[in-house]
Structure 1
Amino acid sequence: MTPNAASKHDKQSLRYLLLSGFAGGIAGCVAKSVVAPLDRVKILFQSSNPDFNKYAGSYSGALQAGARIYREGGILGLFQGHSATLLRIYPYAAIKFMAYDQLENTLMPTPEKQTNLRRFVAGAASGVTSVLFTYPLEIIRVRMAYITRSVADGGSKPSFLHAAAQIYHETPRAPSPASTSLFHRLPLLKFYRGFSVTLTGMVPYAGTSFLTWGYLRARFIPPPPDGAPRRATPLLDLACGAASGALAQTASYPFEVVRRRMQVGGLTHPDRWMRWRETAALVYAARGWRGFYVGLGLGYLKIVPMTAVSYAVWQWIKLVLDQ
């Protein structure tokens, strides 16, 4: 490898850092746009929206829910909340992929050091880092996707600013005066509903996703002799990404269900602050252990193509940018 080529692939350089983040952000936006209608339906199912509970639990129900959304809000109804999704997903995906590139270079600088444990740790840490910085945007996006009555009743769909203002002005009853005082002094904490369970679920999700991705690429794509990054065909990248998404979704889905219920807690239980153990207990009381897997089939329909497209586009853009 020539000195110029080596500098291009130096993962510590500012150029590589920025281009890695750019590639990851674009990949995330493309992948999310592909599955946006499925995401809207899944959020309504996971959060037990009363208007859509009767459709949950089957693929035909998902189709009926999507058809109802289309009848009441048109094509834009299927993409309700997607503007907030794109505002969140670009920095989220950019930070996640950029962090993984850096952690991979630190923990696994050579093929001999590429172990499954290190792949899992690098993936989990990159996922936690990205969600730490972008979680408030996720809360707003979920609120926008959850609200259904305003459009059906002739009103307008909730805007990004309206959803943000609604969250900011909520006054949940905390379990202690000290907590109440804290929420009054730091109202931005309201944008972190369900954050603890999100972090808990992010570890198996991102860790499993990147572990599977790294393992499959190491298994089917031998490293080039000059130490350059592994290159695969787009079809192989799609296949590795699809497998990564399926396994990651299975490992983390119960946490996602609890997180969605907590994120809309200000609407379903406006009088108090829902904690994640209490939310999990409510999910179990309503449907038993199956309640933690409501919409999982729909989740596969969303996550598998989304993850496949995300990884494939990430690698393709990096190739185009000569990374």
Structure 2
Amino acid sequence: MPEERAVISWCKVPALNSPPYGSDDPQPLWKNKTSSLSLTRSGNPCKFACVSVEERKLDKDFFPSAPQLLKHPLAIVALVPKDAALFLAGAIAGAAAKTVTAPLDRIKILMQTHGVRVGQESAKKAINFIEAVTVIGKEEGIRGYWKGNLPQVIRVIPYSAVQLLAYEIYKKLFRGKDGELSVVGRLAAGACAGMTSTFVTYPLDVLRLRLAVEPGYRTMSQVALSMLREEGLASFYHGLGPSLIGIAPYIAVNFCVFDLLKKSLPEKYQKRTETSLITAVLSASLATLTCYPLDTVRRQMQLKGTPYKTVLEALSGIMAREGVIGLYRGFIPNALKTLPNSSIRLTTYDTIKRVIAASEKEFQTMTEENRQKHNQANK
């Protein structure tokens, strides 16, 4: 009988040297997981060996007690599911940012849509920033600057949740075989996440625009019922094409530049709040400058009685009437709104992620201490 020899085969597992998908933990998998070696026998010398790596799970019997959690309240955050915590953080940050910047958003929309609303024959086809501020204050008072903000706040809650969740999912899908996410993959993930969240919440955006610029309506329900009776269900998706085209590059550039700028800095600066603020302002400014013309097209296509049916028709029509500058009507208030809006949202998201990571670490530390005390007591 010929002599049998053992054969050892090695298989590269890239994920062992990179953080888990969707995680910002810089530690490789093999450093924070439990590894084991399995040997298989069946009456003969061992012919098979398997090295496995699995996530280390904490025993619930050693979870921190109520007094421990009261002494270290940060650890309580670890009891909240991570996705739920990020959902809530995104919702609160988005709602606060939209409310603070609502006046600038209302002014921007008025400047974008003035030419279409007053009609083709009007001598005054455009108004500037100061004129828009004056018109709203004179005709509607202080409350007019926040007109249409409620549907926007309602919209931002599911919008933020869907966008953040979709971004994490798409990042996993676009990772390479080595587990790394390239710049192109990051851009694609951001674009797909932006389009997904826009499609889901688009009807609320149309309602908010109608409520903000069309006289005679006081509530969202009045606008919705009027649109259903007079224009049909399809009216809730007017301008969806340019919205998807516009949001895809905007979110892609915004998220990608934000991530890459932070990663390019020394590690000691990456976790600072001021770093998040600065990188958020830069990424949002670049994305806004690049994608703003499509936002103007979208707004004019959403209006009742709009003469535009396609994106190209709207682009050529706006440029014929007002020139290239017509595509950037309302850019200044939009830029002023984008800076604090993106800064609040992205900085809050970054901060919450750091708090969650710190709470999980503290929770695990107390659990390990309880386990060690239990083992020492039983010796």
Partner of 1:35: 101
Of 346, 361, 369 in structure 2, the residue corresponding to residue 311 of structure 1 is 346
Residues 82, 356 of structure 2: 8 Å contact kept: no
Partner of 2:365: none
Of 325, 330, 343 in structure 2, the residue corresponding to residue 290 of structure 1 is 325
The 1:111–1:146 alpha-carbon spacing in structure 2 relative to 1, beyond 3 Å, is: farther
Structure 1 residue 221 displacement after superposition: 5.0
Partner of 2:248: 203
Cα distance in 1 for residues equivalent to 2:165 and 2:93: 12
Cα distance in 1 for residues equivalent to 2:153 and 2:273: 24
- Verify: 1:161 aligned to 2:227, yes or no: no
The 1:169–1:110 alpha-carbon spacing in structure 2 relative to 1, beyond 3 Å, is: same
Partner of 1:175: none
Of 210, 214, 219 in structure 1, the residue corresponding to residue 264 of structure 2 is 219
CA RMSD of aligned residues (A): 2.9
Cα distance in 1 for residues equivalent to 2:177 and 2:281: 26
Secondary structure of 1:65 counterpart: helix
Match runs of 1:1-323 below 5 Å:
1=32, 3=56, 15-48=81-114, 49-50=117-118, 56=126, 61-108=128-175, 113-147=180-214, 149-150=215-216, 158-171=218-231, 187-222=232-267, 232-264=271-303, 266-268=304-306, 274-322=309-357
Q: Which amino acid aligns with 1:188?
A: L
Residues 107, 113 of structure 1: 8 Å contact kept: no
Structure 1 residue 140 displacement after superposition: 0.2
Residues 25, 94 of structure 1: 8 Å contact kept: yes
Structure 1 residue 108 displacement after superposition: 4.6
Q: Which amino acid aligns with 1:310?
A: R
Cα distance in 2 for residues equivalent to 1:67 and 1:111: 57
Secondary structure of 1:274 counterpart: coil
Query: Does 65-74 or 128-137 show the bigger shift?
Result: 65-74
Residues 38, 298 of structure 1: 8 Å contact kept: yes
Residues 25, 93 of structure 1: 8 Å contact kept: yes
Q: Which amino acid aligns with 1:204?
A: P
Residues 46, 261 of structure 1: 8 Å contact kept: yes
Residues 227, 233 of structure 2: 8 Å contact kept: no
Residues 20, 98 of structure 1: 8 Å contact kept: no
Secondary structure of 2:218 counterpart: coil
Secondary structure of 2:81 counterpart: helix
Query: How many corresponding residue pairs?
Result: 280
Structure 1 residue 208 displacement after superposition: 0.6
The 1:91–1:166 alpha-carbon spacing in structure 2 relative to 1, beyond 3 Å, is: same
Residues 55, 65 of structure 1: 8 Å contact kept: no
Q: Which amino acid aligns with 1:256?
A: D
Residues 24, 96 of structure 1: 8 Å contact kept: no
Residues 104, 333 of structure 2: 8 Å contact kept: yes
Describe the superposition over 1:85-122 as per-residue Cα deviations: whole angstroms up to 9, x where unpaired: 01111111111122223333444599972422122111
Secondary structure of 2:242 counterpart: helix
Q: Which amino acid aligns with 2:249?
A: P
Query: Does 242-251 or 287-296 show the bigger shift?
Result: 287-296
The 1:81–1:221 alpha-carbon spacing in structure 2 relative to 1, beyond 3 Å, is: farther
Bigger Cα Rg? 2
Query: Does 243-252 or 21-30 show the bigger shift?
Result: 21-30
Cα distance in 2 for residues equivalent to 1:188 and 1:210: 33
Cα distance in 1 for residues equivalent to 2:162 and 2:145: 27
Residues 176, 182 of structure 2: 8 Å contact kept: no
Cα distance in 2 for residues equivalent to 1:94 and 1:41: 27
Cα distance in 2 for residues equivalent to 1:262 and 1:309: 29
**What is the identity percentage for the equivalent residue pairs of Structure 1 and Structure 2?**
29
The 1:108–1:213 alpha-carbon spacing in structure 2 relative to 1, beyond 3 Å, is: farther
The 1:40–1:221 alpha-carbon spacing in structure 2 relative to 1, beyond 3 Å, is: farther
Structure showing greater relative contact order (alpha-carbon pairs closer than 8 Å, 6 or more residues apart): 1
Cα distance in 2 for residues equivalent to 1:83 and 1:72: 20
Cα distance in 2 for residues equivalent to 1:235 and 1:143: 37
Q: Which amino acid aligns with 1:50?
A: V
Query: Does 192-201 or 311-320 show the bigger shift?
Result: 311-320
Partner of 2:37: none
Structure 1 residue 232 displacement after superposition: 1.8
Structure 1 residue 258 displacement after superposition: 0.6
Describe the superposition over 1:176-211 as per-residue Cα deviations: whole angstroms up to 9, x where unpaired: xxxxxxxxxxx3221000001111111211111111
